[in-house]
Structure 1
Amino acid sequence: MRYSAKVVGTGAFLLMATACAGQDMSTSQPAAGGGSPAPTGSVSTSPTESVLPTSPSANPPGKPRLTVPEGSTPVPPDKVDASALPNGYPHEVWTANGGTILNIRAQEGGCGHALGEAAEQTGDRVVVNLSETKAQTGQMCTMDIRYPVISVALAAPLDQRTVVLKTTPPK
């Protein structure tokens, strides 16, 4: 009976510690988000501290999410060149924020995290390099594959330009 109580108590403690780990209640924000290129209207609480406003549509470029942000518009398949991607790699692209944000379905696995950057922006195309962070040496990682949506900011709206998706080596 004492063993059961210890197991239950330890489990409850670990559950609470995991739920609270890394949370700073004074500046934490909800994980839900959309696709704005940069937060605007930050509120300054002190000369050196800035707290960003929370918004259900805020998702900074580069921060992976599981779902496509609300209000995103799919880019037509004929405007997405995914010929440089490996077989099986997703090639779904959406625009948001008047076309200045690309939301791209990427691929990551284990301890890696998907990254994307607009490497080239011309009058007729936007080249996006997709990559993944490297795991630390000696770190144990799961062997799963995830397909998060990452956001990439553009200098100008996409309009009729073609999105060219490429992969680059892990960083």
Structure 2
Amino acid sequence: MLAATGIVLLTVTACGQRPESVPAAGGGATTPTSSSAAAPTRPGNPQTFPAGLLVVPPGQLDTSALASDYPREVFVTADGKTVYLRAEEGGCGKATVEVREETSSQVALNLIETKSSIKGQMCTMDIRYPVVSVPLSEPLGQRKLVLSSEKRGG
């Protein structure tokens, strides 16, 4: 009985574990860019990055507004006009990204988890890390990329 309880506890606690690293698809690095003009999109497989992206260098990212355990995988297309990011969602939530501000010196993106507002809806207790993207009006170039996150709805 004690062993069975231990196994159940181990299984339940493992469900909420965040992976240390999720490799990018295609083996290449990517760099994110975003634009407020177009709606956020998701690649075909919501867990992998498209091939051919470039990594946004850590020195170009300001992630100080993100929780310490929030994913920080950020990529941009070769032309610099679309940013791809790893987001976080759980249960009945859906992750998206929007451009808060785009200036000549920085681009501020907000990662959003929108929770369902359906009364009585049963939601799983899982955490997912989908890839989301957003187009920019101009290429990211050397501009600083500032990331924040929020939860909406529910």
1:28-53 C-alpha deviation (Å, 9 max, x unpaired):
xxxxxxx9x9xxxxxxxxxxxxxxxx
Alpha-carbon distance in 1 for matches of 2:73, 2:42: 17
Please give the residue correspondences for 1:1-12 in structure 2 after superposition, counting only pairs within 5 Å. none
Alignment of 1:13-92 (within 5 A): 61-63=40-42, 65-92=46-73
Residue 130 of structure 2 corresponds to 148
**SS of residue in 2 equivalent to 1:123:** coil
What is the match of residue 109 of structure 1?
A: 90
TM-score (norm 2): 0.69
Identity of aligned residues (%): 48
Q: Which runs of 5+ in 1 are unaligned?
A: 1-34, 38-59
Q: How far, CA to CA, are the matches of 2:47 and 2:78 in structure 1?
A: 19
Aligned residue-pair number: 114
2:71/2:88 contact within 8 Å kept: yes
Q: Which residue of 79, 90, 114 maps to 1:133?
A: 114
1:51-110 per-position Cα deviation (integer Å, ceiling 9, x unaligned): xxxxxxxxx733262101110101001111110001200111100151100001110001
CA contact (8 A) 1:80 1:91 kept: no
2: CA distance between counterparts of 1:152 and 1:139?
29
Q: Which of structure 1's runs of 4+ aligned residues deviate more than 6 A?
A: none
